């Protein structure tokens, strides 16, 4: 595995509100990737979401730590995707911000 990719996303939802949005967001990811034969697994422990996504022969694992005013996403990219780290980071930042700030 390469170095973890980390993104911090500010929000004003409070911890419980952000966790609710993230639960809904995982469902959206599962629906979007389902047609590609992807497997999406999630495990919640307190305010931490651990996830695993396997698609097209690649597996991503990561964690999202939910705080009162932010969420920190850390993704372990396989070497095959490490070159796309910047684009993946930008997409996580953009999609995470939309998920945690839209009304």
Going along the chain from its start, the domains and CATH numbers come out as 5-101 (3.30.160)
Mean pLDDT over the full length of the chain: 90
For 18-53, how does the pLDDT look when each residue is reduced to its tens digit (9 = 90+)?
999 999 888 888 888 877 888 889 999 999 999 999
| Cα→Cα distances 82→12, 29, 57, 86, 102, Å | 31, 21, 15, 9, 30
Model confidence at 9: pLDDT above 90 = yes
**Residue 4 DSSP class:** P
- Per-residue confidence (pLDDT) for residue 98, from 0 to 100: 92
Averaged over 74-97, what is the pLDDT? 89
- Per-residue confidence (pLDDT) for residue 1, from 0 to 100: 54
User: Which of the four pLDDT bands, split at 50, 70 and 90, describes residue 99?
Assistant: very high
Contacting residues for 48 by C-beta, under 8 A, at least 6 apart = 63, 64, 65, 66
More confident position, 62 or 85: 62
- Per-residue confidence (pLDDT) for residue 15, from 0 to 100: 96
């Amino acid at each position: 595995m390469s170095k973890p990719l980390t993104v911090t996303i500010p929000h004003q939802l409070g911890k419980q509100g952000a966790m609710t949005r993230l639960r809904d967001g995982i469902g959206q990811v599962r629906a979007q990737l389902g047609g590609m034969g992807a497997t999406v697994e999630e495990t919640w422990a307190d305010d931490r979401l651990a996830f695993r996504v396997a698609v097209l022969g690649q597996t991503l694992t990561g964690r999202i730590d939910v705080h009162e005013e932010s969420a920190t996403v850390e993704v372990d990219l396989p070497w095959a995707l490490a070159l796309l780290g910047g684009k993946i980071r930008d997409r996580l930042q953009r999609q995470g911000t939309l998920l945690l700030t839209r009304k």
